[in-house]
Amino acid sequence: MSSALDRALTNDALRDMAGFRAFRDGHTYFERDQVYGLEEIDDTVSAKVLGLYEYHVNLWADGVVMGHACSCPVGQGEDICKHGVAVALT
């Protein structure tokens, strides 16, 4: 993962952004190898996560500020979703 994303996406930062449950569930997706199609361009990472459906996730960083988007209903809000956590852990 890019150095800007590495700086922004520590496990502690992910837990703070996602909350306990989303972090736990995202970690489970990661452990079960449900993240695939990972692509990294500059400071942006894109991947797919297989949950109940296939979700498309984008993570990016500008310095130590991290942005995220996911095709799930939660992934458009302020908090990072479990799918975003899974990609960040990859």
Strand partners, 61: 66
Task: Give residue 49's pLDDT.
Answer: 98
Asked if pLDDT for residue 2 goes beyond 60, the answer is: no
Characterize the bridge pairing of strands 54-62 and 35-41.
unpaired
Q: What residue segments make up the domains of the chain, in order of their start? A: 3-89
pLDDT, one tens digit per residue, over 31-84 is: 999 999 999 998 899 999 998 899 999 999 876 677 899 999 988 878 899 999
